[in-house]
Structures are given as C-alpha cells and as structure tokens.
Structure 1
C-alpha cells in the first residue's frame, strides 16, 4: 500500500512542477494569470471501521486554480494598448469560429479592413454608439473604424477614453465615435476555461458573461496606452519550485524505504 501512496505523491509533485513551469514560462506573457495546484488528502474506511483506525492512503490533485489578481501595468503609449484596472475582461469574437473569448491582454491594433483586433482573428467587442458617443444598443458588436468619414476625409488616429469610448480622428480635423468598449464579468472567474493566447471561454462553472461599461461596478476603468503584464512573481515561483522538488524527493525516498523493508522481510523468510 505504501508504494501506491508514494506513487500518488510522485504524480502530484509532477503536476505541481508542471504548473509552476508553465507559470515561469509565461512570466513575460501579457495578460497571463498564474495557476496553483490544490491538493486534498485521501482516506478510506467502511461503515464498520473503527474511526480511530482509519489511515490515509495518500493525496490527490483537487484543482488547478487560476489567480486573477491584477498584474503590473506597463505604460506603452500605444493608443490601442488598453489595461483594465478592475475585474473585467475584454470580449473578443473569433472570426474563424464565431465564439466569444475573454482576455486581459489589451494589445489591440487595426487590421486592413478597419476592425480592431488582437493581432489575430479575434475582434474587440464594443457597444454601438452614435457619432456623438451615445450608446445605442446593449448587444456588443465588432469594433470597426471607418477608413474615411462621411466627407471622404481619411482616418488618421484613434483615442480610447477611460470610459471606453473609442473615437476616430480624420484628416479634416473631425472626430467621430465608433463604439464603446464592452467589458465582461463572471460570477466565478476561476471556472473559465483556458484556451491559450491569454484567452478564456465561459463554462457552466464560470457562468455566462455579464456585460457593462468601463468605470461602472466591478468592471474597472480603462487605461489607454498601457498593457497589463503577467501576474507571475518569479521569486515566489522559484520558491514553489524548490518545495515541489523536495516533495518529489521525499516521496521517492518513501518508495525506496518501502522497498528496503520488503527486501528485509523477504530475506527473513528465506
């Protein structure tokens, strides 16, 4: 029995090491949220077992949870580099699948068609507005900046306010609102499913996304010209790495000790 108990310990340590290695590998990934491994003990006994005689049979990985704490904010100066100061998420729609993803990585840009994207096939979602910036609908749509205004003046720049209003400037000196950034929040963000590239999908555990405007409730305000970096603390991860390594070594030593005891018993019988 001790062999399997320690074997479970070895597997758990490997899982912990894998999570820590993933955190360290993403220390420079914008919008990344670190994970941590949660363990639980295992006990077994029947209804007839004396509760004073029940012994544990090892541990198991109960969950790998994500820490959605705010990461450091880096000033970049880019007009479409956005950081959220609260608990909200940017909503982006995948052109390939049509699914809505959620991210904390606010490194956006404009593609050749005028859509505001994350550099890939995902388009930033905004509330539609009129030319004066008044929100005209509660269903988020793709953010698109016209390459020219109604008078034919060419697009020259874009500004995003703390309230999420996206305003495009044109060569004739006019400014026109093209939408207001829609932020999403979740009842249980730790239930979001990681899909890579600092993106998440909603699940039955996280609940459906609730949308709101920056500067209201728990969504937080926007900072234009800034990016939220990874919230991984490299010093903390290195300490965790040492702890996981010691845990692995201790379980390996327990297997070695059990082997020696078994060998001793075999020798006594011979």
Structure 2
C-alpha cells in the first residue's frame, strides 16, 4: 500500500464531499425559488489494480444529478400571470440574447409593452391563436413562436351576423293592423345600427314583415328586408316561411358595412293575446381591451369593455425524453444536451403535456430537512476523510524520521 495513495484517497473523499456540500448550499439557497429543481450528488468508487500482497487505494468519483422531472407543489397567488404547469412539459422563454430556453419558473409579470417576463428576465413565447385550428408546430425547433403580448389587441369590433325574434301577433286585429319593433345590430366598424321590423296584417292568418334602417343624421330610410309573407295555421303556428328564417340585405352606412343578417323567426305565433316581442342580434360595439384570461389549455384571451373574450395567443410548451439530463443554466432555465434527447414542441393540455394553472406557481422541490441532514453527513464524512489524509501524512513523517 502506498502512503501517497492513501493521502490521495483522502483528498478524493474530501473533494467529493465538498461537491455534495456545494449542491446542498445551492438547494438551500433556492428553496424558495419558483420552479427550481434540486441538485444531488451521487458517488461511485474508483478502484486501482492491486498486486500480490499489496493494495492500491483508489478513491471516489462525484457526479451531480438534477431532479428536473420531479414536480413540486403549488402555491396560489393573486396574479393571473403567475403560471404553473401541472404535468409534463416546460414553458418556452426567450432571453435577451434572442435564444429560446426551457423553464418551469412561471412567475411572469406584464411589462409596459405588454410582454410577459419572469423574475429572471425571460419572455414567455407562444403561437398566434386561430379559431378551431391547432397551431402549426415545428416539432423539433422554435420557428413560428412569437412573444405573448397582452396589449396586442387594440380595439375590437365584432360585426353582427345573426339574430332571432320571438313575437306574438294578435289574431283578433283587423286589416290593416300594423305594429313595429326594433333590434340593434353592429356594423363592421362597431357602430350600433337600429333596425325597425314592421308587421302588417294582410288577412286571416296572414301577415307581412319588413325591415328598414333610418339614418339618424339624414333621416333617410332604407329597406333592408322587402315585404315578406307570414302565414299561420289554425293553431297559430308559423307555416311560412317554412324554414322560419329571414335574411336582411347588406347595407353600407358612412363607409361601414352592415352585413347580411340571418334572423330566426321560428318562434313567431299568432294568438288572441296582444302584441309582444323579444329578440336579440349577435355582435358587439367597438371596445378596448381591459383585461385577460389564461385557460388550462394555454389560450390567452383578451377581455374587452363589451364583456367579450377574444383569444389571441396559445402558450407553447416543450418536452424532452430525459428531462433530468437537460443542461441547467443561470436564471432557472435549461437547454438541450446530448443526453436529454431532442426538444419536442406542443401546447398545454394536449397529449402528454400538462395543463396550465393561472394564478399559481410551482414551488421548489427542495426538502429543507433532507438538505440539512445531507449537510451534516457531508460535514462528518469530510472530517473523516481529512483524518485519513492526516494519518497518512503522520506515517510519512515517521518513515522519513527512520533515517535519523
């Protein structure tokens, strides 16, 4: 046995325990860091070849492993832009260097320009939303991603396209009894346009209906629905039009377009009761964005003054085959490594990807009690290894002094 080898073995043990203490220090320091994944030190022995009657002491090798795939608990907050992932996957964020990274740290805040940035300064990325169409994803790259912006909505207009009228026409009135009612529709620029529907009795169980628009500035009246015959059966049920549907004409008003409207009149009746009418038309007037909502599926919708929710973005997510093999970087982000597997893109609540929790943060998966225990163990082991080194040094001194 070599005394120098014994001393080197003691040094190897001290270095290994120092590495373990370093990971413990990092874990304790980041115990309150949202989305932080703990590091742990694993040891393996180093064995040197030994000869007949002699033993060569080896040492210990320390390697660091990250528990990235272990999900932490959740803490709920009062901010809707605090986001957590319940399940597999990572947020895609962009650094100031223009490079995309993976992270589980979802403590995002809205900047003045509308972008969402987490505590480390990384911007949240996603896809523009398309109604009833899933995003076109480059499954092995970040092409097509854009910054999610909560101020990108501007002014919203939602033109009217359809509506309904439910009315009772009095059967006992005599020809040419007439009654009018109105509905408000919205043109292509979000202006309100009042349409007047007039019902005129033309005979037994027979009526006609017209619709018109009167310009309030010029008092000009334009017909948008020519006289249309309505007939009822003996029980007062609508017979014609058989489809129970009216369609108004398109109308241009001061440069804006009030499009064709499909009006459902299947609820019309003719009875001995007096005239009464209800109805509604879809669409809304022009309004500004006043808030936002983020759904479990990662759809980011802007909320407008009219109460309308308009989807604008869909949060992007990514995953790899071996998350624990990702490269950890400063800012609680990760990049692909040779051992992690390729990055596969997707979006929340789809396939194996987790869902989004708005108003929540994923806690660090560090257990303080476990880390303090590891710290005490490392301290004791470091001391023991130093004693091995000290003993080897003392024996070397004895060997040198034999010559005296």
Aligned equivalents of 1:136, 1:22: Cα separation in 2: 38
Aligned equivalents of 1:2, 1:119: Cα separation in 2: 48
Are 1:251 and 2:252 counterparts? no
Aligned equivalents of 1:37, 1:10: Cα separation in 2: 13
Residue 215 of structure 1 is matched in structure 2 by 349
Unaligned runs of 5+ in 1: none
Provide the TM-score with structure 2 as the length reference: 0.61
1:27 is paired with a residue whose SS is coil
Contact 1:133 / 1:165 at 8 angstroms: preserved in 2? no
Are 1:144 and 2:149 counterparts? yes
Contact 2:48 / 2:56 at 8 angstroms: preserved in 1? yes
Aligned equivalents of 1:196, 1:119: Cα separation in 2: 12
Aligned length, in residue pairs: 264
Please point out which of 162, 185, 198 is paired with 2:319: 185
Residue 59 of structure 2 is matched in structure 1 by 58
Residue 135 of structure 1 is matched in structure 2 by 134
> Residue 53 of structure 1: CA displacement?
6.3
Aligned equivalents of 1:83, 1:119: Cα separation in 2: 14
**Residues 136, 261 of structure 1: CA spacing in aligned structure 2 closer, same or farther, 3 A cutoff?**
closer
Are 1:117 and 2:251 counterparts? no
Aligned equivalents of 1:178, 1:104: Cα separation in 2: 23
Aligned equivalents of 1:215, 1:25: Cα separation in 2: 32
Aligned equivalents of 2:379, 2:59: Cα separation in 1: 18
> Residue 252 of structure 1: CA displacement?
0.6
> Residue 115 of structure 1: CA displacement?
1.8
Structure label with greater radius of gyration:
2
**Residues 119, 245 of structure 1: CA spacing in aligned structure 2 closer, same or farther, 3 A cutoff?**
closer
Contact 1:129 / 1:137 at 8 angstroms: preserved in 2? no
Q: Judging by fraction of residues, say which structure has more helix.
A: 1
My pick for the range that moved more, 114-123 or 234-243, is 114-123
Residue 202 of structure 1 is matched in structure 2 by 336
Provide the TM-score with structure 1 as the length reference: 0.90
Aligned equivalents of 1:167, 1:104: Cα separation in 2: 22
> Residue 119 of structure 1: CA displacement?
4.8
CA RMSD of aligned residues (A): 2.1
Aligned equivalents of 2:291, 2:55: Cα separation in 1: 70
Aligned equivalents of 1:218, 1:172: Cα separation in 2: 36
Residue 48 of structure 2 is matched in structure 1 by 44
Aligned equivalents of 2:40, 2:13: Cα separation in 1: 17
1:153 is paired with a residue whose SS is strand
Residue 396 of structure 2 is matched in structure 1 by 262
My pick for the range that moved more, 189-198 or 224-233, is 189-198
> Residue 121 of structure 1: CA displacement?
4.4
Aligned equivalents of 2:394, 2:111: Cα separation in 1: 66
Residue 221 of structure 2 is matched in structure 1 by none
Are 1:81 and 2:85 counterparts? no
Unaligned runs of 5+ in 2: 138-143, 158-285
2:92 is paired with a residue whose SS is strand
Q: Judging by fraction of residues, say which structure has more strand.
A: 2
Residue 276 of structure 2 is matched in structure 1 by none
